[in-house]
Amino acid sequence: MKKLPKIELHLHLEGGAPPAFIRGLARDKKLDISGIFNEDGSYRFTDFWNFLKVYEAACTTLQNPEDFRRLTLAVLEESAASGVIYSETFLSPDFCGGRDLGAWREYLLAIREAADEAERSMGITLRGVVTCIRHFGPEKARETALCAAETAGDFITGFGIAGDEKVGAPKDYLWSFDCAREAGLRLTAHAGEWGGPDSVRAAIRDLGVERIGHGVRAIEDLALVDEIAERGVVLEVCPGSNVALGIYPTFRAHPIGQLYDRGVKVTVSTDDPPFFHTTMAREYDMLNRAFDWDEGVFATIARTSLDAAFCDADTKAKLARKLEAADA
């Protein structure tokens, strides 16, 4: 499974930070965040809401563009080792200079420097999707959207929303999504992870997104599943994340198989891989075992993911050639 070329559309950059990397930064800066780690060094959290707190505590160690340059390299190294050839990664101005546009530009420069280096040395391509954080509220989301709009282009290709789905409603963030849309950014939103089918409906209807982060709980309403399939809305499914956070007990019980069989455009991603003890290669392995998915299914998923990627046509053509070479 490691060798199959993979396209990943849903990875939070800070969520990809290996715990040892965060511990190293904490040591250098004399920050005591020992409470967020287990004795074996892994991240410690009890549920999704505690995970968000641990995530934000880990982010306090990421304090300057150089930290993000190194983080980006570390994350891309892991992804490339799993066979990922293209990664569309969520970037958060909240954690990159507190949504100040000047600071954000500097962080972005450092992230792009790492991306260029990774492309040269590992053959992996990175693009960014700026995300606002729902539980930080609509006001901060507007500042985030302005950062996204001002830096939209060949590298920043999209805008999205992550964080606690139980806070507020998608329509509270409409100004931000309209701002991003007007700047030419493509749109995605986390929904149907902690919210039910109505949360997915609201994200599609009220924000006009073309992709949904997770979206798996649409399975609780088959009319919605059929609507998603008909409209061609793409789901960024992260099975290992959903199992680790307890939404489903096992891969076998995860609805990705049913969604795929019903004609939904499903893609596969890791979300926050070290937090959930996963990698893209492991996701593929677990799906192979749970649903007997073979290389043909994974080739279809890679193609769906490439079609749904927010990057430009030239980048897609280059990636398509890599997928075709592997198929041959």
Instruction: Look up residue 315 and give its amino acid.
Output: T
* Residue 15 binds which of Zn ion, ligand ADE, none (CB < 5-8 A, kind-dependent): ligand ADE
Question: One symbol per residue from 243 to 282: x for binding ligand ADE (CB under 6 A), - otherwise; what is it?
Answer: ----------------------------xx----------
Q: Which residues, 218 to 247, sit near ligand ADE by CB under 6 A? A: 241
Phi-psi region of 162 (alpha: psi -120 to 50; beta: other; left: phi over 0): beta
Question: CB 28 → ligand ADE: shortest distance, Å?
Answer: 24
Task: Work out whether 271 is an interface residue with Zn ion (CB under 5 A).
Answer: yes
Cα–Cα–Cα angle for 67, 100, 203, rounded to 5 degrees:
95
d(CA 129, CA 152): 9
Catalytic residue at 139? no
**Closer of 144 and 323 to ligand ADE (Cβ):** 144
Give the residue with the Cβ less far from ligand ADE, 157 or 269. Answer: 269
Nearer to ligand ADE, 166 or 205 (CB): 166
> Among 60-68, 81-89, 269-277, 294-302, which window interacts with Zn ion (CB under 5 A)?
269-277
Query: Residues 8, 67, 88, 193: which binds ligand ADE (CB under 6 A)?
Result: 193
Least Å distance, CB 87 to ligand ADE, is 15
* Stretch 162-181 residues interacting with ligand ADE (CB under 6 A): 162-163
Of 21 and 323, which CB lies nearer to ligand ADE in the complex structure? 21
> Nearest-CB residue to ligand ADE?
162
Site string for Zn ion, 183-222 (x = CB under 5 A): ----------------------------------------
Taking the complex as a whole, how short is the minimal distance between the CB of residue 327 and ligand ADE, in angstroms? 31
Three-state SS across the chain?
Answer: CCCCCEEEEEEECHHHCCHHHHHHHHHHHCCCCHHHECCCCCECCCCHHHHHHHHHHHHCCCCCHHHHHHHHHHHHHHHHHCCEEEEEEEECCCCCCCCCHHHHHHHHHHHHHHHHHHHHHHCCEEEEEEEEEHHHCHHHHHHHHHHHHHCECCCEEEEEEECCCCCCCHHHHHHHHHHHHHCCCEEEEEECCCCCHHHHHHHHHHHCCCEEEECHHHHHCHHHHHHHHHHCCEEEECHHHHHHCCCCCCCCCCCHHHHHHCCCEEEECCECCCCCCCCHHHHHHHHHHHHCCCHHHHHHHHHHHHHHCCCCHHHHHHHHHHHHHHHC
Tell me whether residue 9 or residue 162 sits nearer to ligand ADE (CB atom).
Answer: 162
Question: From the candidates 8, 193, 236, 283, which is the catalytic residue?
Answer: 193
Shorter beta-carbon distance to Zn ion: residue 14 or 271? 271
By the 8 A CB rule, do 17 and 71 touch? Answer: yes
Q: Which partner from the list ligand ADE, Zn ion, none does 193 bind, CB cut-off 5 to 8 Å by kind?
A: ligand ADE
Binding mask 38-57 for ligand ADE (x = CB under 6 A): -----------------x--
83: left (phi over 0), alpha (psi -120 to 50) or beta: left
Residue 300 structure tokens? 């279809």
Q: Which of 190, 217, 254, 265 binds ligand ADE (CB under 6 A)?
A: 190
Binding residues for ligand ADE (CB under 6 A): 12, 15, 55, 162-163, 190, 193, 241, 271-272
Mind telling me the catalytic residues? 193
Binding residues for Zn ion (CB under 5 A): 271
